[in-house]
A and B are shown apart, each in its own frame.
Chain A
Amino acid sequence: SQQGEEDPQALSIQEGENATMNCSYKTSINNLQWYRQNSGRGLVHLILIRSNEREKHSGRLRVTLDTSKKSSSLLITASRAADTASYFCATRRGGGADGLTFGKGTHLIIQP
């Protein structure tokens, strides 16, 4: 079963604009991670935010976490054509022994 659900399912924006993707999850978490997947390729880790953190930055990425609402958002600023990919949130429940549970992803298209 899916733990995280991304929203929107698909997003198309112009190069240079900001892209925001949201993720909601159901149970308590230890941390939440975002991954990127280029078409047909393996997933690549982008950023991890722990349950006691509210915001984290990495380059053009900004992630927020609201544990009271069980939601997270990923903001990509100044988007580039190379950002075109699917983005997944993933949660790890306490204990860390049961793998990451991924949502179905947001497919982001950056129009040049």
Chain B
Amino acid sequence: DSGVTQTPKHLITATGQRVTLRCSPRSGDLSVYWYQQSLDQGLQFLIQYYNGEERAKGNILERFSAQQFPDLHSELNLSSLELGDSALYFCASSGQLGGSNTGELFFGEGSRLTVL
């Protein structure tokens, strides 16, 4: 158990819809990362938040947005969904406050999104 919790585990929705994926990081971790995993694209880094602020952006579409709240949980919002958005979405965390950041990421079990 990595200590990172993602909900929901599975989500089926229709094209054009909007969904929100939620992530609770490991206790004490300040950074949250979102990744998308699909068969054709592999693992793609989407975005990173650190202590509530956006820290780095990867291949995140304009239809997608994220935020990190004061309690450090994060949400990834996906809108105007397309068939190609079907994928596993992972949240990872790192960066213990007051501890050494070894650089490793702790991944949740993912949210599997299916767009029909």
Contacts and interface: CB of A to CB of B under 8 A. Distances in A.
Interface of B is mostly: strand
Interface in A82-104: 88, 92, 96-104
Interface residues of A, number: 24
B19 interface: no
Interface string A27-61: 00011010100001111110010000000000000
A2 interface: yes
Contacts of A100: 33, 45, 105
B56 A33 contact: no
Interface of A: 2, 30-31, 33, 35, 40-45, 48, 88, 92, 96-105
19 contacts: A30-B103, A40-B110, A42-B90, A42-B107, A42-B109, A42-B110, A43-B92, A44-B107, A45-B106, A48-B102, A92-B103, A97-B50, A98-B58, A99-B48, A100-B45, A100-B105, A102-B35, A102-B43, A105-B42
